[in-house]
Amino acid sequence: MDQVGQYNRNAWDHAHHTSLRQWTEPVSTDEVNEARDGIIKIKLTPHKHVPQAWFPELRGKKVLCLAAGGGQQGPLLAAAGAEVTVLDNSPRQLAQDAFVAQRDRLTINTELGDIRDLSRFSDQSFDVVLSLGAGHVEDLNTVWQQIGRITKKNGTLLSGFTNPFEYIFDLKAWNEDKLVVRHTIPYADIHDLTADERQELIVDKGEPFFFSNSLEDQIQGQIAAGFVIVGFYEDHGGGPLDPYINTCFATRAVKVSLP
Ligand SMILES: C[S@@+](CC[C@H](N)C(=O)[O-])C[C@H]1O[C@@H](n2cnc3c(N)ncnc32)[C@H](O)[C@@H]1O
């Protein structure tokens, strides 16, 4: 594995001690029971739930949750009757899915892996793919191409993103609730911060490394991989831009052509 993958694995294994804790806390048995009754409250962005209308029939369907460990989306989709695989780079995040599965008698296949290499999955093997790890990948287009290969025709792709413009701001100022324009997009913590800034603002805080991607990578990348976008919503990102604009968004896409 490359250095970013190794570093981010360790960061996510310890993310329950950081500002990212929200993404490491498993769902409750009550939420699982609601999903068993067909009310699936999963998030692709920090606050809003995915509209129920975005889910195709899930019973007996093969669902792949990418970079989605943490005991959240996978267990609820399994409770709704899907055959779920969760692939994540963090053993601790996957352990949260295994914990919920055992607690609530669900079957979930957890796989330790990197969304940048989906070669373990065969062509057109999933009815639904949920993708959450875009912000940890520098070359997002290769991930979309692989998702396009493994998604069945007419299959669904549900994805969550941070709008790249969040990354034009100086990170230290951002953390102090100030907006200081500094960076160009595409931005990457590993390329655009000085070594001292990386140490202080990322490593010392135990945060993972992020990549902004571009809107073109996030949207056109899906289209180029054979998907059409059929749904979209925005959500608060949780930073100093919240009073002005939503910085997170989700897309629903359907696979229309084979790559
Ligand atoms: C924001 S969390 C998303 C999971 C969470 N269940 C949620 O509700 O959104 C991001 C996840 O991506 C995983 N991740 C980061 N880089 C990855 C990569 N290259 N391949 C696979 N998973 C990755 C992390 O381990 C972490 O569990």
240-257 tens-digit pLDDT: 999 999 999 999 999 997
Q: Please check whether residue 194 lies inside any domain of the structure.
A: no
Residues 156, 65, 159, 220, Cα dihedral to 10°: -70
For residue 23, what pLDDT band results from cuts at 50, 70 and 90? very high
For 24, the token pair is 């490491």
Query: Which residues are within 8 A (CB) of 88 and not within 5 positions of it... i.e. 6 or more apart?
Result: 12, 67, 68, 69, 70, 94, 110, 111, 112, 113
Between β-strands 227-235 and 248-255, what pairing exists: parallel, antiparallel or unpaired?
Answer: antiparallel
Structure tokens of 29?
A: 């048995």
Report the domain count for the chain.
Answer: 1
pLDDT at 65 over 80: yes
Q: How confident is residue 28, by pLDDT bands cut at 50, 70 and 90?
A: very high
* Ligand 1 pocket residue status of 88, Cβ below 6 Å: yes
Task: Give the type of residue at 166.
Answer: E
CA of 12 to the centre of ligand 1 (A): 8
Residue 175 lies in a domain: no
**Domain annotation covers residue 226:** yes
What are 92-120's pLDDT values in tens digits?
A: 999 999 999 999 999 999 999 999 999 99
For residue 137, the domain's CATH number is 3.40.50.150
Say if ligand 1 is within 6 A of residue 73 CB: yes
pLDDT band at 258 (very low <50, low <70, confident <90, very high): low
Structural domain boundaries, residue 142? 3-158+214-255
State the Cα–Cα distance between residues 227 and 186, nearest whole angstrom: 23
Angle, helices 3-13 vs 91-103, to 10°: value is 40
For the CA of 13, the closest atom of ligand 1 is 25
Whether the CB-CB separation of 98 and 74 falls below 8 Å is answered with: no
Q: Looking at the domain assignment, is residue 78 inside a domain?
A: yes
Q: What percentage of the chain reaches a pLDDT higher than 90?
A: 97
Q: What is the pLDDT of residue 257?
A: 76
Distance 67 CA to ligand 1 centre (A): 4
Domain for residue 134, yes or no? yes
Say what the pLDDT of residue 19 is: 86
Instruction: Please check whether residue 37 lies inside any domain of the structure.
Output: yes
Decide if pLDDT at 259 tops 70.
no
- Residue located nearest, by CA, to atom 18 of ligand 1: 114
Indicate if the pLDDT at residue 30 is higher than 80. yes
Task: Place 235 in a pLDDT band, splitting at 50, 70 and 90.
Answer: very high
Q: What is the pLDDT of residues 83-92, one digit of tens each?
A: 999 999 999 9
Question: What's the pLDDT score for residue 197?
Answer: 98
Q: What residue type is 27 in one-letter code? A: V
Averaged pLDDT score across all residues of the chain: 97
249: in domain = yes
Task: Tell me if 213 sits within 8 A of 135, measured CB to CB.
Answer: yes
Kindly report, residue by residue over 189-233, the tens digit of the pLDDT.
Answer: 999 999 999 999 999 999 999 999 999 999 999 999 999 999 999
When pLDDT is cut at 50, 70 and 90, the band that residue 27 belongs to is very high
pLDDT above 70: residue 161: yes
3, 72, 130, 132, best to mutate for ligand 1 pocket (most atoms within 8 Å of CB) = 132
CB atoms within 10 A of CB 218: 22
**Do the domain assignments include residue 188?**
no
Query: What is the average pLDDT across 169-180?
Result: 98
